[in-house]
């Protein structure tokens, strides 16, 4: 993406998410920024979830609804006092409805440096079969 | 003759429409509850990427920023006096040319941010670490900036 290389990033606050169910634990819930793109073979989703460790991330695909749920443990150590605070940490939560049929067994998910990369391969289209019609 | 002092929000010509009045009250209640019960998500944003949090304990200052997808070696961190400068460029890997985008919310670009801390820093001992897309810079306070206990002598 050469066209964006020299552009300065604009500061954007995190967007708080509206969770479908009420929370039992107090805390903030944010919507992660995502990129979604599709090729003939698969759908790829990239999500920015800084601070989420692999063991705290839940990716679930159930009846075409893809759920991303990542928990962030507060990075501050004990005895630290805020000097100033511009962002908050909390859960990341987002749901997507997929219109394609996904090959569930082949889903790949990787989390590196706070970015989730999820590869959702499409189910191979049924190969056309020729049906021979027998005559009498 | 009476002098009747009425609050600003009092309707000038009586209660025009009770429903409208209820609606107004509901709006005010909403405003009040958002102001009271929801802490703002950003308290003192400078409006410069990346957003940063700073905290301190007895010995160190800690400056944190969320930089998903970035590695420590891609960042340039420098310290002068009591300020830290963090700059770099966030690049998003080029994907398949044939890929058709449905959503593109993640941003790429350059950034440069300087934050000042309340006290002097021992710049030789500054450490920076990137883990899970969160940068943590540990800045030890200069000896002069640490709190000292002063023994009070009895005369």
pTM of the model: 0.72
Q: Which residues of A touch B99 (CB under 8 A)?
A: 37-39, 44
Please return the burial class of B128, using the count of CB atoms within 10 Å of its CB with bins 0-12, 13-18 and 19+. middle
Q: Which residues of A touch B106 (CB under 8 A)?
A: 33-35, 46, 48
CB A58 within 8 A of CB A93: no
Q: Is the ipTM of this complex over 0.90?
A: no
Report if residue B15 sits inside a domain: no
Show the domain range for B64: 52-91+108-145
B136: CATH: 2.60.40.790
Q: Is A53 in Cβ contact with B53 (below 8 Å)?
A: no
Report if residue B70 sits inside a domain: yes
Counted domains in chain B: 1
Residue B148 CA from chain centroid, whole number: 30
Q: Which residues of A touch B107 (CB under 8 A)?
A: 4, 9-10, 12, 33
Residue A124, min C-alpha distance to chain B (Å):
18
Domain boundaries, chain A: 34-75+87-124
Q: What confidence tier does A4 reach under pLDDT thresholds 50, 70, 90?
A: very low
Question: pLDDT digits over A23-74, tens only?
Answer: 777 788 899 999 999 988 889 999 999 999 999 999 998 888 999 999 999 8
3-state secondary structure B121-148: ECHHHCEEEEECCEEEEEEEECHHHCCC
Fold of A34-75+87-124: Immunoglobulin-like (2.60.40)
DSSP A21-51: S--SS-S-EEEPPEEEEE-SSEEEEEEE-TT
DSSP H helices, chain B, are: 18-37
Q: Provide the pLDDT for residue A123.
A: 84
Question: If you measure CA to CA, which chain B residue comes closest to A57?
Answer: B132
Report if residue B68 sits inside a domain: yes
Question: pLDDT digits over B84-133, tens only?
Answer: 999 999 988 888 788 889 889 998 899 999 998 888 888 889 999 999 99
């Amino acid at each position: 993406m050469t066209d964006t290389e020299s552009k300065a990033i604009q500061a954007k606050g995190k967007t708080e998410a509206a969770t479908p169910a009420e929370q039992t634990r107090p805390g903030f819930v944010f919507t992660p920024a995502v990129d979604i793109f599709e090729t003939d073979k698969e759908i790829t989703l990239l999500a920015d979830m800084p601070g989420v460790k692999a063991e705290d991330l839940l990716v679930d695909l159930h009846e075409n609804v893809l759920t991303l749920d990542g928990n962030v443990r507060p990075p501050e150590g004990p005895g630290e006092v805020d000097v100033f605070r511009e962002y908050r940490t909390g859960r990341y939560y987002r749901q997507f409805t997929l219109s394609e049929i996904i090959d569930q067994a082949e889903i790949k998910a990787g989390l590196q440096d706070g970015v989730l990369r999820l590869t959702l391969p499409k189910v191979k289209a049924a190969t056309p079969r020729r049906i021979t019609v027998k005559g009498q | 003759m009476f002098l009747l002092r009425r609050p600003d929000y009092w309707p000038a010509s009586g209660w025009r429409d009770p429903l409208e009045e209820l609606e107004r009250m509901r709006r005010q209640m909403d405003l009040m509850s958002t102001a009271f019960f929801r802490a703002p998500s950003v308290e003192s944003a400078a409006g410069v990427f990346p957003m940063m949090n700073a905290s301190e304990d007895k010995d160190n200052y800690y400056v944190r920023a969320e930089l998903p997808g970035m590695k420590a070696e891609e960042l340039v961190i420098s310290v002068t006096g009591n300020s830290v400068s963090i700059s770099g460029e966030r690049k998003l890997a080029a994907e398949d040319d044939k890929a058709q985008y449905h959503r593109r919310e993640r941003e790429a670009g350059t950034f440069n941010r300087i934050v000042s801390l309340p006290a002097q820093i021992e710049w030789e001992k500054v450490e920076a670490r990137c883990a899970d897309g969160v940068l943590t810079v540990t800045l030890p306070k200069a000896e002069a900036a640490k709190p000292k206990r002063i023994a009070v002598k009895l005369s």
